[in-house]
A and B are shown apart, each in its own frame.
Chain A
Amino acid sequence: MVKSVTSFGRSGLSDWLVQRVSGVILLAYFLCIGATLIGGVSYEEWQAMFAGTGMRIFTMLAILSLAAHAWIGMWAVGTDYLTERMLGSKGNVLRLAFQIGCGLVIFIYVIWAIQILWG
C-alpha cells in the first residue's frame, strides 16, 4: 500500500471512478454544446439557452467534473515526472508548487464559472 495525501480521493479506486464518471459527463456536455453549435445558433438563442436553470446546472456539473478530472490527471502527471526519483530532492518542492499552481487555477476557473453563470 503506497500512501498519498494529495490525490483527489486518497484512494486509487475512488480517483479512477471519478475520472471515468466525470469523463462521461464531459462527453455528454460537449456533445450537447457541439450539437447546438453545429445546428446554428444566434446570440439571443445562446443567451436564452444559458438563462435556463437546467442548462446552468448542467454547465456547473460539467465545470465541477472538469475540475475533478483535471486534478486527477495533473496529479498523475506531477507524480510521474516531478518526483524525487526523477529530479532529486528538488522534485518534491517542484511537485508541491506544481500542485498548488494547478489547484489555484482550477479553483479560479470554478469561481469564475459560477460568476459567469449566476453573476
Chain B
Amino acid sequence: MLQVSIYRYNPETDAEPSMQEFQIDTGGKDLMVLDVLEMIKAQDTTVAYRRSCREGVCGSDGLNMNGKNGLACITPLSETVKNNKLVIRPLPGLPVVRDLVVDMSMFYAQYEKVQPYLQNDTPAPAIERLQSPEDREKLDGLYECILCACCSTSCPSFWWNPDRFIGPAGLLQAYRFLADSRDTATDERLERLDDPFSVFRCHGIQNCVNVCPKGLNPTRAIGHIRHMLLSRAT
C-alpha cells in the first residue's frame, strides 16, 4: 500500500492547513500521480485539484510531489515515490484557493506584462508574414511552454517578488517574442525589462530548468535577454 499525504486547506472553514493521510493500493503498477489522485478522490470526494487533458498538454495539474514541482499526469510513481511515501502539496508560493488548487492570478499578471503576442507595425502582407526555416528554428524550445507554472513556483526569486519579478515562464515567453523575426517591438520590449526586478532577479539557480515538464530551459532564455539588453546598452 502506498502512503499518500495530501495537503488540505479550505480557507472558508479551516483555521490552518493540514496533511491528510491515505493508503492507496496501486496493484504493483507504476501509475501516474494523477491516477493516484483519482483513487483518492474516489475515497474522499472533497479533495480538490485541477486536471484536464491527463497527458501533459494542458498544464492544469502542476503540483509539488515529494518536494519537486511537476505535472501529476505525466509523473510516474517510480520517478517521485521514496520509501513508499508520496507527499503532495500545491505549487509553492501562490495563494491556496482550496487543497491543491492555487490562485494563479499573480503568475498570469506577469505573463501579461511581457505582451505575449506578435507586434508588427509594418503593413500586413496579402497572405501571411513569412519566416525562413532558420528564423523559425529560433523559436524551438520557447513556444512549447504550456504555462503550468511549475518553473515560476519553484523559483525563490518569484516566491519573494511575484509582483515584480516576471519569473521564468514569463521570461521564456518574453524571449519567444524577442527572438521572433516577425516582431518589430524588440526595443520597446527590452525597454520594459531593463529594471532591477523584471529580469535581473534571476540568479541563475536553474530550479526552473530542473522542474520543467516539457524539458525547456528558461535560464538560457533569460541569458539571451540579458545579452540583448547588453548589446543595445551604451
Chain A residues within 8 Å of B, Cβ to Cβ = 1-4, 7, 10-13, 15-17, 75-76, 79-81, 83, 85-86
Distance to closest chain B CB from A61 (angstroms): 23
Chain B residue contacts of A15, Cβ below 8 A: 196, 200
Q: Is the CB of A12 within 8 A of B198?
A: yes
Main secondary structure of the interface of A (DSSP, over half): helix
Chain B residues within 8 Å of A, Cβ to Cβ = 156-157, 160-161, 163-164, 191-201, 203, 226, 229-230, 233
Q: Is the CB of B196 within 8 A of A11?
A: yes
Given contacts A80-B160, A80-B161, A83-B160, contact A12 B230 (CB under 8 A): no
Q: Is the CB of B196 within 8 A of A12?
A: yes
Q: How far is the CA of A4 from the CA of B164 in the complex (A)?
A: 11
Q: How far is the CA of A114 from the CA of B197 in the complex (A)?
A: 33
Given contacts A10-B196, A13-B233, 5 further A-B contacts (CB under 8 A): A4-B195, A75-B196, A79-B196, A79-B197, A85-B161
Shortest Cβ distance from B164 into A: residue: A2
Q: Tell which of A12, A76, A81, A86 touches B194, judged by Cβ atoms closer than 8 Å.
A: A12
Q: Is the CB of B160 within 8 A of A86?
A: yes
Q: Is the CB of A81 within 8 A of B160?
A: yes
Distance to closest chain A CB from B138 (angstroms): 22
Q: Is the CB of A1 within 8 A of B161?
A: no
Distance to closest chain A CB from B195 (angstroms): 5
Q: List 10 A-B contacts (CB under 8 A).
A: A1-B191, A1-B192, A1-B195, A1-B198, A2-B195, A13-B194, A13-B230, A15-B200, A16-B226, A76-B203
State the 6 A-B residue pairs at the shortest beta-carbon distance, nearest first. A12-B200, A2-B197, A80-B160, A12-B196, A7-B196, A2-B195
